[in-house]
Amino acid sequence: MNRRTFLYGLTLGTLYAQFAAEAQTVGKVPRIGFLSWGFPPPADRWVDPFRDRLRELGYVEGQNILIEYRWAKERSDLAADLAAELVRLRVDVIVAWVSMAVRAAQNATRTIPIPIVMGAVADPVRSRLVASLARPGGNTTGPSMMTLDIAGKRLELLREVIPNLSRVAFLFHPSGRPFVEETQVAAKRVGVRVQPVVVENPQEFQSAFASVLRERAEALIVEPIFRDRRIVDFAANHRLPTISDYSWFPEAGALMSYGTNARELTRRTADYVDKILKGAKAADLPVENPTKLELVINLKTAKALGLTIPQSVLLRADQIIE
């Protein structure tokens, strides 16, 4: 082969590689990292509404979009490892569920700023996940699960249902301390004592339950990060009226829930993903607060607890389980 032929072939080879790279870029299938703080389905209820909304937006999993699912099983160390793994996979966006998963994703993307869409996060500004609602800054945005004032409203609902209520236990993860503080402010207003019971991982539930019983709590508030059947069973066995944020709790047998519609919240995360894949920057997408909160009451549980739900509360309920 003479030098001219060699250079010609080299040039063609270089051009071919360039064209192939451009074609691959043009035809690239977006990849989403799905990082959940909890456990895989059926325990995880975020997956289906998220995928349903993506389909409505024109994304078909396995065809024009890929999703990498990871579940941290309520372990901070595992969340950090999984977030780092998604970064190594060079996903186009990470959807992180619950503030601890969002924090893990933020730590993993410090040098590679992959956009993060947060889901099921309460007051992301106070949690220091974003700079502000209007201009989140950094690489994180998404819908907010609730605002702080909902914490006081949950306590007020319990007081309406149990007029003589004097002691309430609050089961919470360390990340939820602002909501405990807000509940304590409301407690002073209505004359109720709040007992904070911190639970950092599922292995601590039994000692937490023992603490609730020692303090002779008359009702229980549960931070929505916890979706463990053991909490519902504990409340039923010890006749503790219980309230949380998501309808999963009264559907599973607890007394009430008051908070964001989890399905709608999940669908909104898919809208954020769509905008980012179309070129929007996370820093420029405002964080949306919930526009509607729902109250769900389990009347069967109320009867088992010997409680009569006031008509004024029933009229405000979005769903009544009988």
Q: Tell me how far apart the alpha carbons of residues 99 and 68 are, in angstroms, rounded to a whole number.
A: 19
Considering Cα of 257, then 259, then 262, then 264, what sign does the dihedral take?
positive
User: How much is the mean pLDDT over the chain?
Assistant: 88
CATH class of domain segment(s) 149-260+294-321: alpha beta
Q: For the chain, give the percent of residues with pLDDT over 90.
A: 66
Burial class of residue 64 (count of CB atoms within 10 Å of its CB; 0-12, 13-18, 19+) = exposed
Residues 99-130: tens digit of each pLDDT? 899 999 999 999 999 999 999 888 888 888 99
Specify the pLDDT at position 27: 61
Task: Please count the other Cβ atoms lying within 10 Å of the Cβ belonging to residue 25.
Answer: 8
Residue type, 294: E
What's the confidence (pLDDT) of residue 258? Answer: 94
In order, the DSSP letters of 111-162 are SS---EEEESEE-TTTTTSSS-SS---TTEE-BEEE-THHHHHHHHHHHHHS
pLDDT in tens, 182-200: 899 989 988 999 999 999 8
% of the chain exceeding 70 in pLDDT: 90
The CA distance from 306 to 309, in Å, is 10
**Which of 132-136, 150-154, 187-191 is predicted least confidently?**
150-154
DSSP 3-state of 256: strand
Cα–Cα distance measured from residue 255 to residue 121, given in angstroms and rounded to the nearest whole number? 23
Superfamily of domain 26-145+262-291, CATH level 4: Response regulator (3.40.50.2300)
Overall average pLDDT of the 19-35 stretch: 67
CA distance 18 to 157: 64
The pTM for the full model equals 0.80
* From-to residues of CATH 3.40.50.2300 in the chain: 26-145+262-291, 149-260+294-321
Q: With contact defined as beta carbons under 8 Å apart, do 194 and 171 qualify? A: no
